[in-house]
Structure 1
Amino acid sequence: MTVRVLVVDDQEIVRTALRLVIDRREGLSVVGEAGDGADGVALAVALRPDVVLMDVRMPGMTGVEATRRIVREWPGPAPVPRVLVLTTFDVDEYVHAALRAGAAGFLLKNSRPEQLAEALHAAADGEPVLAPTVTRRLIDTVTALPPALLSTAPVPASADVALTDREIQVLVLVARGLSNARIAAELGLSEATVKSRVNRILTRLGLENRVQAALYAHQAGLA
């Protein structure tokens, strides 16, 4: 199945470069481009892509707000597109805010073409797009952000939700940035079982994605 991608960036040269890279990869196709957040939201609703590549620093509506509107206020039929935020720096506070708003992960603009392709496929499959080292730095930075930036989508307070011992083990490994395959190898489970457990954890905790699960684990003192 071909992964349909919407590219949102205020720089035309960046959009052109991304289109060239994506369209040359098997199983990937750019279905539209937008130059700002507002147009990105409108095109996401109109085109219903599988993944939105979203720049965070744009004039007008930022990528953070556009991400929130797509993920949390999706007016179209399911499924909701996955959002990957794009940044020049991996310590950009706006990227972290976008992740809190429901983005599935983030990419650096200097990522290699094969990394971009892998990330798009992973996002479409519901997998995280964060390396373990980036996950650790992300958690440290997000927890130090000013409340104003965190207020767009706080991690739900679900202290009253009891997870099983196995679910806690899985949650801790998710917080370390491990993929489903690596978690399966670590715990001696099948990848399908891990995927099912991760989905159940997200549902029980009222979380949107694995990034929020990592943040939850950190705030709960598990990671």
Structure 2
Amino acid sequence: MTVRVLLVDDQEMVRAALRAVIDRRDDLCVVGDAADGEQAVAAALRLRPDVVVMDVRMPGMTGVEATRRILDGWPHPDPPPRVLVLTTFDLDEYVHAALRAGAGGFLLKNSPPDQLAHAIRVVAEGEAMLAPSVTHRLISTFTALPLGLVPGASGPGRHELIDALTERELRVLILVARGLSNLQIADALGLTQANVKSRVNRILTRLGLDNRVQAAILVHEAGLLPPVHGRDEPPEPRRPRP
């Protein structure tokens, strides 16, 4: 299946470069582009892409507001597109706001072309595209905020719900918090990718979380995230501290 992509960036040269990278892939296709948030909303509603690659800082309507309007005001019976945010991480507040607006992935603008293509595929499959470095940056910033300021990441009884997870579910949760994709988790734990996807969705539902970043924040707050000494060794589960 070909993933249909809408590009949104206020710089024409950036859009052209992104189009060249994406259209070289047999399974990806750019169906349109937009130069600002208002154009992005109109194009998304008209073209119904699978993924919107969205810049955040644009004149007029920002990519954050465009993301919110696309996802909240989607009028079609089919699901809304996934949104992959492009960021320099110079402006963390935009990234945080995009997360709250429902963006499904974050990618640095200077990422290699293959990583962009991979991110689009991952987001199109409904997974969050959060490289470990991105996840750790978000966790550090979010956990520096006053408790309760991050929607969904904390709440009464949330840590107690972690304690009700099975050992395997807890291990999956910790790997999610480390920024691993479903495929990487499957390889690490000897499971199928479909099985991991089902487990992750069930864990998020049981914990009352909306996305994998909130899961990472919760794991961090609960003291469950051990130092990473090796790439492929799954961490031993540790229960929340009393």
Shorter-chain TM band? 0.7 to 0.9
Q: Which has the higher contact order (CA 8 A, sep 6+)?
A: 1
Q: Deviations over 1:102-144 (max 9, x none)?
A: 2111111111211111111111112332222321122112333
Greater Cα radius of gyration, structure 1 or 2? 2
Greater CA deviation, 162-171 or 48-57?
Answer: 162-171
Cross-structure match for 1:34: 34
Quote how far apart the aligned CAs of 1:91 are.
Answer: 6.0
Report the secondary structure of 1:207's partner residue.
Answer: coil
Cross-structure match for 1:199: 201
Greater CA deviation, 156-165 or 122-131?
Answer: 156-165
Aligned residue pair count? 220
Cross-structure match for 1:136: 136
Q: Deviations over 1:143-177 (max 9, x none)?
A: 33589xx67x5547362755333222211110011
Which amino acid in the other structure matches residue 37 of structure 1? G
Identity percentage of aligned residues:
70
Cross-structure match for 1:43: 43
Relative distance call for 1:222 and 1:110 in structure 2 (3 A) is same
Quote how far apart the aligned CAs of 1:202 are.
Answer: 2.4
1:114-125 map, 5 Å: 114-125=114-125
RMSD (Å), alpha carbons:
2.5
Cross-structure match for 2:167: 165
Relative distance call for 1:109 and 1:77 in structure 2 (3 A) is same
- The answer as to 2:13 corresponding to 1:3 is no
TM-score of the two chains, using structure 1 as the length reference? 0.86
TM-score of the two chains, using structure 2 as the length reference? 0.80
Q: Identify unmatched segments of 5+ residues in structure 2.
A: 226-242
Q: Given that residues 54 and 84 in structure 2 are in contact (C-alpha distance below 8 angstroms), is that contact kept between their aligned partners in structure 1? A: yes
Report the secondary structure of 2:86's partner residue.
Answer: strand
CA distance, structure 2, for counterparts of residue 45 and residue 222 of structure 1: 41
